[in-house]
Amino acid sequence: MHVVLIAAQKGGAGKSTLSAHFGTLADRDGRTLLIDADPQGSLAFWYERRAAETPLLAKATAQDVPGLLKDAEADGIEWTIIDSPPHNAPLIGSLMSRATITVIPVRPGPFDLAAVGATLDMARSLKAPIACVLNACPPVTRENETSIVAEARGVLTGMGAPVLPGQVSQRASLSHALITGQAVSEFEPDGRAANEIETMWSAVAKLARTFPRKA
C-alpha cells in the first residue's frame, strides 16, 4: 500500500484541497482511502457533500491512524492519503515515519517559505522521503511561471528541498469543485486546474512508486 502524507506545520497551505483532489485521482489507479486526521475536518466536510462512494474516507485521531493503516492494508487498499493537522509536530512526525512519501504544499509567499523549514528539518531527522508542491500560485503567464513562483522555487531548492516541477495555481474551479463534493477533474475535466492537478498527482504517484510500500 502506498501511503501519501500531506503535511505542513503552517495552516492555510492547502493540505485538505490537495488531499481531496489527489485522493479522487488515486482512486482511478486502485482502491483509495482518505484519512482526515485534522481536527478542523475540512476533508470530511467535502466528503459529506460527495455523491460518489469512492474514494473511501475515515476521520481519525492520532491514536487511530496505525490501526486504520493496518486495516486498509488487509482490505486491499492501494493508496492511502492522509490529511494532517498543522501546529502538531509530534503527530506529523509520527505520520511521516509511516508514510511512503510526504508531500509538503508551500504557497509562494515569505511567511510560508519561512515556516517550511521546520517541516523539512523534521523530515531530514526521520530520513523521510518528501516532495514540495508549489500550491495556490498565481497562474502561469504565456506558459511561464510568474517571478514570485520562480523565486519561491529557488528558495526551496536553496534549502535543499526537493520541489516537484510545475505548480498548482489558485483557481476558482478548485473551490467550486470542493463545494459540490467533487474533485476538479470531475467538475471541469478539461480545464487548466484539472490539468495542473493531474500533472502534479502523476508526479507524486510516480515518485511514491519508487519507495517501498508501507503496511
- CB neighbours of residue 179 within 10 Å: 11
Q: Per-residue pLDDT tens for 166-175?
A: 999 999 999 9
pLDDT tops 80 at residue 102: yes
For residue 200, what pLDDT is reported? Answer: 97
pLDDT tops 80 at residue 142: no
Cis-peptide into 55, omega within 30 deg: yes
Q: What number is the average pLDDT over the span 209-213?
A: 85
pTM as predicted: 0.94
pLDDT tops 70 at residue 165: yes
Q: Per-residue pLDDT tens for 43-78?
A: 999 999 999 999 999 999 878 999 999 999 999 999
Mean pLDDT of the chain: 93
The CATH number, out of the four listed (3.90.550.10, 3.40.50.11540, 3.40.50.300, 3.40.50.150), of the domain defined by the range 2-208: 3.40.50.300
pLDDT tops 60 at residue 143: yes
Q: Per-residue pLDDT tens for 10-52?
A: 888 999 999 999 999 999 999 999 999 999 999 999 999 999 9
Query: Positive or negative, the Cα torsion across 150, 154, 159, 165?
Result: positive
For the chain, state the CA radius of gyration: 16
pLDDT tops 70 at residue 128: yes
Determine what percent of the chain is predicted with pLDDT higher than 90.
85
| Alpha carbon distance 36, 27 (integer Å) | 16
| Alpha carbon distance 131, 165 (integer Å) | 10
For residue 52, what pLDDT is reported? Answer: 94
For residue 215, what pLDDT is reported? Answer: 55
Asked if residues 89 and 122 have their Cβ atoms less than 8 Å apart, the reply is yes
